[in-house]
Every structure is written in structure tokens, then in C-alpha cells.
């Protein structure tokens, strides 16, 4: 089965006409609103015409945006629009059928998930994926395997190098957990945590890999309004403390409109609008994608 | 909601390690004392070294099945490689005037190295598979090792060491056959002692438990718990699975060496599929990932057939029934809850119990 739709149907309505103007050689920085402070620097993520087909189904097509070094950007769109697929493309869970993306100016074609993670892209998952049987602290420490770099021999004999690095890892894990006030939960088994805490732990684990870009897949899912408000503050706090870019997928509009500086709206795998929260809110294409087409007034 | 909490300042791993070492050391002291008083029956005496060997096998298999989360059915193959390597090495060193302990140690180390290398080589293709497929292929490799041992002939004479796939080694008259194809090894000098077994069990526990409580152990368990998440944080899943598999194979080789040097005759057929399954039963019965559980299960299930000898022909039937009953009782939720509550009430100080943030509300 394949979903067919005419390219032009969508394009007519877009504010930023990325498809027509798309040029391989040219940097795409102008294509998205970068926050003022990031304008003079190269974008951390420069995504160029990314697309993937599953059999006959085009899940994502011509996805082109650039993300600033300290930007908080959001991807929104109806269910099945291909938002999570984009995260899977950015972390190389899937290899793209078309297009590529530059991370920190480097082409990422043909890289594996592990390599991408080492370069500095970390993510959380829509359906929580923790290391259930490890403790909270171990979940975080497992992600610090680049800093904790003793070999198997040290791992077996627990020598001075082991003790020094484990102590440092323990302190850093608690420090990271304290962002979300979770340091007291360090010794609990990850699967025994309440749902909200599990979501927060996933973010801490992603941060423990020292990323330059953090991808959050529906971080507010299942959270109540007060938890969501707290999450908003924490997202800003993470950006300010670590100076990293954050790209998030979210259905909670209050969160997206409040924290994101740039937003891309996705429908049927294509960007139908890009811009600042204000621009997106007033965009007819977005309103149509979410609420359906308005009948012609007589 | 049940929580796994540090008991005082001990982490769960430290606590479990102490239990494991405690069980082994206490058992060793008790058995040694009883033995000194002449209270241990000769049947049980003969079982002491095999028990140690099976504990090593169970604990090492637990590293793959429980901690790395991959079902392996070829563990007896590595045991076999270790056993026959150790027999050959100790046979070659027999002529030298080395002390027995040194000969035994060299033989055991060689057994572990050969099995470890074999584990590494087999692991590279095998660990690309998952689940049932991996189990079936490890089973096949276990059988391959057994069948190779069935056609290997080795001997030593003044010209040195001979290794062929046929019985005609062209040995001198003074030469000695070490491996005799399907007849296995004969006239092996019995070097294994209960003390040696005890030391090797401690080494195994040391290696496995320290790995569990290290960066490598965390990575191995992370790959087990969630492969996709492990990749997303940059862990090389294949590398850590291979690490667990290789260390496990090397330890199994050590256990095999201990086992092989305990009998004057050893047939390759001993290390067949049944032995692999037997070791797996120890691990499953003791609890996946539970080291001291493996120790107790290996001990009980090795002694049990001897204890059940009075049932004569019905011995293995009784063994099976006991096994089923133990499985049912160990894994019944009621009994699990009871033991958990019992442990909590006995060992935990109540004021140490931290409250979950927002309770258990989801």
C-alpha cells in the first residue's frame, strides 16, 4: 500500500518553500529560523533532503532543516507523520534512502548508531527504553562508557585505575541525576520507578553521553500539567547548563510553543511549515493539517 | 511496589558477592573438617572435585545466560576443550621434575586459554544470531567440538609431541599415548584435589562478580536489558556480548581442566549435549544472573543422584520429580514473597528505606 499525494498540494501552502529552492551545494542555514545567538556559527545539525521509503511507502521525504548550536527546536505533526522516523534516521537506526545530514560540519553517510552516539547525538525514546534490571545510577553510568575507559583487566582486578574512575563516575552520575532531583533514587531498580521518573532518567542517561544534540521523543507524554511545566524549565535548564542543541518531538502544544525557538511541522512525511512558534500558530497549512480544511465561504 | 535497595551501605552486588564467597568458604571449611574427622563417605569424597568443576561451569554459564542474556547450549564443548588440553599439557610435563602444583596450574591455565580462544572464534559468527537461533548454533558447535575430540590422537615421545587425526602416530616404544580418539584419555595422572577445586571456584567467583560490578558488566547487562537503547548510548553490543562469551568459555575451560585431571580415564562422549543441558539446568534452577544460586543448584544436583541411589532403578525418575518440584517451589510467587519479606524483616533497618518520589503512582 502506498500513500499517494501530489507534492504541489502541500507546497502551495508553505511559508518557506524549501522544495523548490533546495540546492545540494548551498548550505541550508537560511531555510530555518536560527536563534540570533547561533546565526554566525555553523549549525550543529544541517539536515539536507533526508528521506526514507519502506517498500512503497514514503515515510519521510525531503526533510531539510538546520539546527543551531544552542537552539531548542521542535518537530510537530499529526500521528503517523514520520516524526519518530526522523529521529531514527538521525540516530542511524534506519539508513536514509535519500539525502544526508551534516553533524558539526561532518557528513554522516554510512555511519552506525554507535558512531553517531560517539559523535554526540543522544536520544530518548517514545516508548521508554531503560536498562530495567540495572539501578538508576548504573543506567547513567552505563552511558558514561567513553569517560570510564579502563580495560577488561582493570574490570576484573579492580585496581587503582578502576577505583579512581568508578569514584569519578559515581560522582558525575549523582550530579547529572541532581538536575532532575533524582539523586535519592540512585539505588532503585530502573523498572521500579514511577513513569515520570523513568522518562526523566532517560534524559539523564542521554546527557551522560556528553551529547552536542539531544533528541527528545515525546518527553511530556503521560505527564500531568504541573510535571510538564517542570519539564519545560528543565529543558531550558539543560540547554543553558550544557550549552547543547535540543530537538524534540511533542504533541503537547503548550510545551512546544513555550520552549521551542524554531518549529518544523510535518504531515505525511513532509515539512509543511517551518518557523517561529508565532508563525506556526498562524499558518493556514498547519491549521489545516491539524483541524482539516475549512469549507469555502459562500 | 517492591524496591531493590542497598542494605545499609552495601550495594546489591557487594552483598551478593559476600554471600557467594561466604557459601563457598564455609562449605569448604565444613567439608574439610568433616573429612578430617572421617565423617565424609567415600562416595561423597569422590564427588567433591566434580562438584567444584560443575560450580565453575554453572557460574561461568551464568555469565552468558543470566548476565549477557544469550542462551548457550554448547558449554560442555568448552569444558571438553579445557579438559583435554589440560590432560595433554600435564601429560607432556609428566617427565619433567616440576612440582605437582606447578604442573596442575600450567595445565589449568592452558585449558582456560585454549577454551577462551575457541570461545572467541566461535563467538564471532555465533553472536550475530539471537535467541533460539543462537541456542541452536551453540548446540551445534558443542557437538562439533565433541566430535573433533573423538578423532584426535595425541602422544608424546623423545621426539616431542605428536597430534594427528588417525591412531598411527608412529610413536617410539618409550612414547605414551595421551589422547586416544573415541577412547579418550587413559592413565591420566590425577592432579585435581578438593583444595585446588576450591581455589578455582574462588577465582571464578572473583572474575565473574568483579566483572558484574564494573564498566564491562554494566555494558553487558545494558545490552541484555535493551539492545536498542544500548546502541543509542554508543555501546558496541557485539563487543560486549563477545567479551562475556569469551570469558565464560575460558572459565569453562578451567572447570573442564579441573574435571579432566580428576579422573584416570576420560571419554570425549562425556561432554555431550546432556552435559550442556545439565549445566543450563543448574543456572536456571539457581536463578538467572544469581551467582550463589548457581553454586547451590550445582552442588545439590550433583550430589542428588548419589543420594537417590537407594531408589535403584527409579533413581533418575526421582531426580526428575525432585527437579520439577524444586522449580515449582522456587518460582512460586507466594514463596518468593515469603522469602523476600523474611529477608527484609531480618536484615533491613526500616529507617533506611527511602520513599519513592510521588510514591508508586503512575
A79-96 pLDDT, tens digit per residue, is 889 999 999 999 999 999
**In chain A, which residues have their Cβ closer than 8 Å to the Cβ of B226?**
129-132
**Please, which residues have CB within 8 angstroms of residue B117's CB and are 6 or more apart in sequence?**
none
| Ramachandran bin of B160, using left for φ above 0, alpha for ψ from -120 to 50, beta for the remaining angles | left
Q: Quickly list H helices, B63-186.
A: 75-93, 100-126, 131-151
Rounded CA gap, B94 and A4, in Å? 80
Residue A7 clears pLDDT 60, i.e. is over it: no
- Return the pLDDT at A297: 55
A5–chain B Cβ distance below 8 A for any pair: no
A146 → closest Cβ in B229, B234, B361: B234
Q: CA B227 to CA B246: how far, in whole Å?
A: 19
Contact B221 A134 (CB under 8 A): yes
Mutation target vs B (from A156, A204, A224; most B CBs, 10 A cutoff): A156
CA A220 – CA A79 distance, rounded (Å): 16
Q: Cα distance from A209 to chain B (closest Cα, Å)?
A: 6
pLDDT for B354: 45
With contacts defined as CB-CB under 8 Å, which chain A residues touch B11?
187
In total, the C-beta contacts within 8 angstroms joining chain A to chain B are 139
The predicted-structure confidence for A42-73, as pLDDT tens digits, reads as follows 889 999 899 999 988 999 999 999 899 999 99
Q: What's the complex ipTM?
A: 0.83
Which 37-96 residues of chain A touch chain B by CB within 8 A? 91, 93
Q: Show residues of chain A in contact with B221, CB under 8 Å.
A: 131, 133-134, 138, 142
Q: Do A131 and B354 touch (CB under 8 A)?
A: no
CB distance A280 to A263 below 8 Å: yes
Q: Is B7 at the interface with chain A, CB within 8 A?
A: no
- What's the confidence (pLDDT) of residue A160? 93
Mutation for B interface: A123, A194, A221, most B CBs within 10 A: A194
Inter-chain touch B357–A185, beta carbons under 8 Å: yes
C-alpha span between B87 and B318 (Å, rounded): 35
Domain boundaries, chain B: 12-273
φ/ψ of B177, rounded to 5, equals -75, 135
* Cβ contact, residue pair A131, B232, below 8 Å: no
Compute the mean pLDDT over every residue in chain A, rounded to the nearest whole number. 85
Domain boundaries, chain A: 7-120+211-291, 132-209
B66 → chain A, closest CA residue: A133
Helix/strand/coil percentages in chain B, nearest 5: 70, 5, 25
Q: Which residue in the set A134, A157, A194 is minimally distant from B360, CB to CB? A: A194
In chain B, the residue whose alpha carbon lies closest to the alpha carbon of A92 is: B232
Question: How far apart are the C-alpha atoms of B127 and B123, rounded to whole Å?
Answer: 5
A31 — pLDDT class (breaks 50, 70, 90): low
pTM (predicted TM-score): 0.86
The nearest CA of chain B is from the CA of A196 a distance in Å of 8
CA-based nearest residue in chain B for residue A115: B234
Predicted local confidence at residue A130, as pLDDT: 96
| From A131, A193, A194, residue closest to B221, measured CB to CB | A131
Residues of B in contact with A131 (CB under 8 A): 221-222, 225-226, 229-230
pLDDT value at position B347? 65
Give the model's pLDDT for residue B207: 96
* Subunit contact B228:A129, Cβ cutoff 8 A: yes
Among A131, A149, A176, A204, the strongest candidate for a mutation testing the B interface, having the largest count of B CBs within 10 A, is: A131
Contact A182, A197 (CB under 8 A): yes
Strand order in the sheet with B176-180: B160-164, B153-157, B176-180
| Parts of chain B with a pLDDT under 70 | 1-10, 347-362
Please give, rounded to a whole number of angstroms, the shortest distance from the CA of B279 to a CA of chain A.
Answer: 24
Residues 179-218 of A with CB under 8 A from B: 181-182, 184-185, 187-189, 192-197, 205-206, 208-209
Q: Tell me which residues of chain A, numbers 240 to 279, contact chain B at a CB-CB cutoff of 8 Å.
A: none
Bridge partners (DSSP) of residue A135 are A189
Q: How confident is the model at residue A30 (pLDDT cuts 50, 70, 90)?
A: very low
Report the alpha-carbon distance of residue A91 to residue A203 in Å, rounded: 15
Cα separation, A49 vs A100, whole angstroms = 7
Which chain A residues are Cβ-neighbours of B357 within 8 angstroms?
Answer: 181-182, 184-185, 194, 197
Interchain contact, B233 vs A130, CB within 8 Å: no
CA distance A199 to chain B (A): 12
| Beta-carbon separation of A146 and B360 below 8 A | no
Note the pLDDT of residue B215. 95
Residue A11's pLDDT is 35
Query: Are A185 and B354 a contacting pair at CB < 8 A?
Result: yes
Nearest to B221 among A133, A145, A152 (CB): A133
In whole angstroms, what is the distance from residue A29 CA to residue A45 CA? 10
Confidence check: pLDDT of A269 > 60: yes
B251 exposed, middle or buried (CB, 10 Å; 0-12, 13-18, 19+)?
buried
List of chain B residues whose C-beta atoms are within 8 Å of the C-beta of residue A158: 210, 213-214
Q: Residue B1 has what pLDDT?
A: 34
Tens of pLDDT, residues B96-150: 888 999 999 999 999 999 999 999 999 999 999 988 999 999 999 999 999 999 9
Three-state DSSP state, A248:
strand
The CATH label, of 1.10.287, 1.10.490, 1.10.10, 1.10.3470, for the domain at B12-273 is 1.10.3470
Residue of A nearest to B240 (CA): A152
On whether the CB atoms of residues A28 and A64 are closer than 8 A, the answer is yes
Q: Which of A269, A293, A217 is nearest to A77 (CA)?
A: A269
Instruction: State the Cα–Cα distance between residues B122 and A143, nearest whole angstrom.
Output: 28
Establish if B340 touches chain A: CB-CB under 8 angstroms.
no
Contact assignment for A129 to B216 by CB distance below 8 Å: no
The pLDDT, as a whole number, for residue B216 is 96
Asked if A187 lies within 8 A of B360 by C-beta distance, the reply is no
B9 to chain A, any CB pair closer than 8 A? The answer is no
Instruction: Give me the residue label for grid cell 557528513.
Output: A107
**Which CATH entry fits the domain spanning A7-120+211-291: 3.40.50.150, 3.40.50.300, 3.40.190.290, 3.30.565.10?**
3.40.50.300
Amino acid at each position: 500500500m502506498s500513500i499517494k499525494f501530489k507534492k504541489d498540494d502541500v507546497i502551495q501552502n508553505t511559508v518557506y518553500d524549501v522544495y523548490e529552492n533546495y540546492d545540494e551545494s548551498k548550505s541550508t542555514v537560511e531555510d530555518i529560523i536560527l536563534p540570533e545567538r547561533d546565526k554566525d556559527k555553523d549549525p550543529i545539525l544541517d539536515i539536507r533532503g533526508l528521506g526514507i521509503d519502506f517498500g512503497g511507502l514514503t515515510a519521510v521525504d525531503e526533510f531539510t532543516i538546520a539546527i543551531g548550536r544552542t537552539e531548542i527546536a521542535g518537530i510537530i505533526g499529526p500521528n503517523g507523520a514520520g516524526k519518530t522516523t526522523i529521529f531514527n534516521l538521525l540516530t542511524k537506526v534506519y539508513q536514509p534512502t535519500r539525502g544526508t545530514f551534516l553533524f558539526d560540519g561532518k557528513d554522516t553517510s554510512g555511519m552506525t548508531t554507535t558512531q553517531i552516539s560517539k559523535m554526540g547525538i543522544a536520544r530518548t525514546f517514545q516508548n521508554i527504553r531503560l536498562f530495567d534490571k540495572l539501578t538508576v545510577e548504573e543506567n547513567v553510568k552505563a552511558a558514561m562508557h567513553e569517560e570510564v575507559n579502563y580495560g577488561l583487566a582493570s574490570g576484573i582486578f579492580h585496581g587503582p585505575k578502576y577505583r579512581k574512575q568508578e569514584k569519578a563516575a559515581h560522582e558525575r552520575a549523582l550530579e547529572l541525576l541532581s538536575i532532575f532531583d533524582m539523586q535519592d533514587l540512585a539505588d532503585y531498580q530502573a523498572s521500579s520507578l514511577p513513569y515520570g521518573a523513568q522518562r526523566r532518567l532517560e534524559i539523564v542517561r542521554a546527557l551522560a553521553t556528553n551529547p552536542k544534540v539531544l533528541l527528545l521523543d515525546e518527553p511530556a507524554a503521560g505527564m500531568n500539567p504541573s510535571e510538564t511545566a517542570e519539564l519545560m524549565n528543565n529543558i531550558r535548564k539543560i540547554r543553558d547548563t550544557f550549552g547543547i542543541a535540543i530537538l524534540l518531538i511533542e504533541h503537547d502544544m503548550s510545551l512546544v510553543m513555550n520552549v521551542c525557538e524554531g518549529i518544523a511541522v510535518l504531515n505525511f512525511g513532509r515539512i509543511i511549515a517551518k518557523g517561529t512558534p508565532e508563525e506556526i500558530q498562524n499558518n493556514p497549512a498547519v491549521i489545516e493539517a491539524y483541524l482539516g480544511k475549512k469549507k469555502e465561504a459562500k | 511496589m517492591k524496591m531493590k535497595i542497598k542494605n545499609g551501605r552495601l550495594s546489591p552486588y557487594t552483598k551478593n558477592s559476600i554471600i557467594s564467597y561466604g557459601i563457598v568458604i564455609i562449605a569448604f571449611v565444613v567439608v574439610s573438617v568433616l573429612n578430617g574427622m572421617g565423617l565424609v563417605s567415600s562416595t561423597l569424597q569422590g564427588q567433591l572435585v566434580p562438584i567444584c568443576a560443575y560450580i565453575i561451569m554453572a557460574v561461568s554459564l551464568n555469565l552468558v545466560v543470566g548476565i549477557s542474556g544469550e542462551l548457550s547450549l554448547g558449554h560442555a564443548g568448552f569444558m571438553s576443550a579445557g579438559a583435554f588440553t589440560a590432560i595433554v599439557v600435564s601429560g607432556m610435563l609428566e617427565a619433567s621434575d616440576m612440582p605437582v602444583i606447578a604442573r596442575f596450574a600450567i595445565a589449568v591455565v592452558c585449558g582456560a586459554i585454549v577454551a577462551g580462544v575457541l570461545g572467541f572464534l566461535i563467538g564471532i559468527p555465533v553472536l550475530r544470531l539471537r535467541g533460539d537461533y543462537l541456542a541452536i548454533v551453540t548446540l551445534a558447535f558443542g557437538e562439533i567440538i565433541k566430535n573433533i575430540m573423538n578423532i584426535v590422537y595425541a602422544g608424546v615421545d623423545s621426539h616431542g609431541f605428536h597430534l594427528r587425526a588417525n591412531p598411527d602416530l608412529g610413536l617410539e616404544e618409550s612414547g605414551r599415548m595421551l589422547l586416544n580418539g573415541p577412547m579418550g584419555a587413559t592413565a591420566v595422572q590425577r592432579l585435581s584435589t578438593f583444595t585446588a577445586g576450591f581455589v578455582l571456584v574462588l577465582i571464578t567467583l572473583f572474575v565473574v562478580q568483579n566483572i558484574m560490578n564494573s564498566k564491562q558488566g554494566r555494558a553487558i547487562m545494558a545490552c541484555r536489558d535493551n539492545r536498542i537503547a544500548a546502541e543509542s548510548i554508543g555501546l558496541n553490543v557485539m563487543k560486549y556480548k563477545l567479551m562475556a562469551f569469551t570469558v565464560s568459555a575460558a572459565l569453562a575451560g578451567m572447570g573442564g581442566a579441573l574435571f579432566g585431571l580428576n579422573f584416570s580415564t576420560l571419554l570425549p562422549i562425556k561432554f555431550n549435549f546432556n552435559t550442556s543441558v545439565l549445566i543450563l539446568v543448574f543456572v536456571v534452577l539457581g536463578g538467572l544472573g544469581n551467582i550463589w544460586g548457581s553454586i547451590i543448584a550445582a552442588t545439590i544436583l550433583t550430589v542428588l543422584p548419589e543420594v537417590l541411589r537407594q531408589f535403584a532403578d527409579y533413581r533418575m525418575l526421582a531426580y526428575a520429580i525432585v527437579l520439577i518440584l524444586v522449580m515449582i517451589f522456587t518460582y512460586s510467587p507466594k514463596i518468593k514473597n515469603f522469602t523476600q519479606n523474611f529477608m527484609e524483616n531480618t536484615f533491613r533497618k526500616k529507617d533506611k528505606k527511602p520513599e519513592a518520589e510521588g510514591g508508586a503512582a503512575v
